[in-house]
Amino acid sequence: MIKSLLVYMVSFAALFFAVLHTQHWFIESYSSNIRFNYYDTNLFFAVASALICIHLKLFSILKALQPQLGYIYLPTLFIKGALFFFGFRDTVFSLGNLNISERLCLLISLLVFLVLEVIFVIKILKENNPEI
């Protein structure tokens, strides 16, 4: 159990630094102008995804919740979206129209962390329900 939680934290931390430095390199290479702090948005996506995986793993310990793990995971996507909106309402959403590099910066961060999150969620669900 502790090993799994450490794997989640290390994986999301490593992915965070990889995405952050890759984005920084692209932004510097193409002299793009990002009007928001992409460090903060990447940190949000990494921490939110890691917390979702950690909580799902902790919920999988309880026998009563094991059949409902998939249903527990579904609302987390909407909750994460709402928290992102409220957390970055003044910095990202107040900018009006985002340019292409800003849109890609947000979209790539979201998708990369979501892919790792889904991989871990599928692994947790398969551990608790082998017929998946």
pLDDT in tens, 99-109: 899 899 999 99
**44-68 pLDDT per residue, tens:** 999 999 999 999 999 999 999 888 9
The kind and range of the H/E element at 12 are: helix 2-29
| Sole residue written with tokens 């939110």 | 48
Residue 128 has pLDDT above 90, yes or no: no
Please, which pLDDT band fits residue 80 given cuts at 50, 70 and 90?
A: very high
Contact 116, 12 (CB under 8 A): yes
* Close Cβ partners of 84 (under 8 Å, ≥ 6 residues apart): 41, 44, 45, 48
Q: How far apart (Å, rounded) are the C-alpha atoms in residues 113 and 48? A: 9
CA distances from 83 to 47, 78, 88, 117 (A): 12, 9, 8, 17
pLDDT at 132: 61
Percent of the chain with pLDDT over 70: 98
